[in-house]
Chains A and B, each alone.
Chain A
């Protein structure tokens, strides 16, 4: 029980501070909004090409959003000298990781859910009946992105060039998430039957599992280096 309580309290702490200052979610949201607008300016999209390009645009926007949000994940702890307390708190270190991860994944999902209607609006998509499937893809890809992102955020938060190093480390390793998410989203948008793109969702789930386990294990070394 102790283990799950630690997860819950850390995620709750992040949520509470987010509810009070709304820094993270609002900056993520407006950044992604600007990315979408720039894309809609730079491609003059007719309905057919927008179907074709949408999955890529969505995941570029969400990927950048993730970089903005996840990169700052441990910043509050560093500013308030809480990293030391993470080291000495008598709790499993993996639980601290899972708590931060849960908070991050939740923030990203909230932003994605707010943004998605805007995508439909801007690009005239016709996807109302496909929403459950799209949500599933969002969840699967967001878990993988936050699993890696939380780990790398902890790695890079204390260095000078944090804003540069975080995407440099995260993006190459996140390639399978982007491929999987884009292909699955494309499958849903073009109205393919589930078996044609279910493999991509499986890829995302496998990636999520592997990197949650690996990060869970190595996080201990980050905290007591």
Chain B
């Protein structure tokens, strides 16, 4: 089981990931909230970006990890990879929710509405629904191996669907009304870029740290269940 060995090896360093994430996020937050200049158009509201953008990136990264892990699981049937997918989905919900909430708070002063039918908003909302459905499906299935396989299938189908949802909504809205204000094409000032980069890297590291801890927890939980004798034959140690 190549993947489980790799995960075990990385987990020796998980503390460093946590510390690095904490430091980067602290420095990034200080720079973003205190030292960087307010935006010319958006004013102080722009500072939400330092949380919103990294959270959105990490959420998408979490789903990508979930997708890759699900493919890997269907191929190799490595139960540790399944634990990792399970962990990635839960953490993905956390980051997706942060991205949606901060985006909504940002949209109120900027677009003058809490919610609009913007393709990015819709695809994130649907991503949240898919991830919640994923975890629900897992809790309802009793057989561990069946749970892992069915969940992996759902994750793969959902991942393929997300870009289609994004484009269909984008298409739908552009036919009805022009897209809301887009920051595309506006180059970003250096004193805004550096905190944003720090926060992005910090959030990725935070995701990695959370993923390692949660994977370990789920793995130990399964081990415990196995030791209780319920599914001794199905855990490959």
- Which A residues contact B (CB, under 8 angstroms)? 148, 151-152, 155-156, 158-161, 165, 168-169, 172-173, 175-176, 179-180, 183, 199, 203, 206-207, 210-211, 214-215, 218, 221-222, 225
Contact = CB atoms under 8 A, between A and B. Distances in A.
22 contacts: A148-B157, A159-B141, A165-B140, A168-B133, A168-B136, A172-B126, A172-B130, A173-B165, A175-B165, A176-B161, A176-B164, A183-B172, A183-B175, A211-B157, A214-B160, A215-B157, A218-B156, A221-B149, A221-B153, A222-B150, A222-B153, A225-B146
Contacts of B132: 168
Select the residue from B122, B129, B143 with max chain A CB neighbours within 10 A.
Answer: B129
Nearest to A161: B140
Interface in B163-187: 164-165, 168-169, 171-172, 175
Closest 10 CB pairs of A and B: A225-B149, A176-B168, A172-B129, A159-B140, A218-B153, A173-B161, A225-B146, A172-B126, A169-B133, A179-B168
Contact of B157 (A156, A199, A203, A214): A214
Given A172-B129, A172-B130, A203-B171, A221 B74 contact: yes
Q: How large is the interface on B (under 10, 10 to 19, 20 to 34, 35 or more residues)?
A: 20 to 34
Contact of B164 (A161, A183, A210, A225): A210
B23 to A, nearest CB: 37
A179 B172 contact: yes
Q: Is the interface of B mostly helix, strand, loop or mixed?
A: helix
Given A179-B168, A207-B164, A173 B137 contact: no
Select the residue from B146, B158, B168 with max chain A CB neighbours within 10 A.
Answer: B168
B137 A214 contact: no
A48 B132 CA distance: 39
A214 B157 CA distance: 7
Contacts, number: 81
B118 interface: no
Contacts of B129: 168, 172
B154 interface: yes
Nearest to B175: A183
A218 B157 contact: yes
B145 interface: yes
Contacts of A199: 171
A173 B153 contact: no
Contacts of B150: 155, 222, 225
Nearest to B74: A221
A155 B140 contact: no
Select the residue from A199, A211, A218 with max chain B CB neighbours within 10 A.
Answer: A218
Select the residue from A160, A168, A199, A207 with max chain B CB neighbours within 10 A.
Answer: A168
Contacts of A203: 168, 171
Given A199-B171, A210-B160, A215-B157, A156 B165 contact: no
Given A161-B140, A168-B132, A172-B129, 8 more contacts: A148-B157, A155-B137, A173-B161, A179-B168, A207-B164, A214-B157, A221-B74, A221-B153
B141 A173 contact: no
Given A151-B157, A155-B154, A159-B141, A222 B149 contact: yes
A199 B175 CA distance: 11
Nearest to A177: B168
A94 to B, nearest CB: 14
Contacts of A165: 133, 136-137, 140
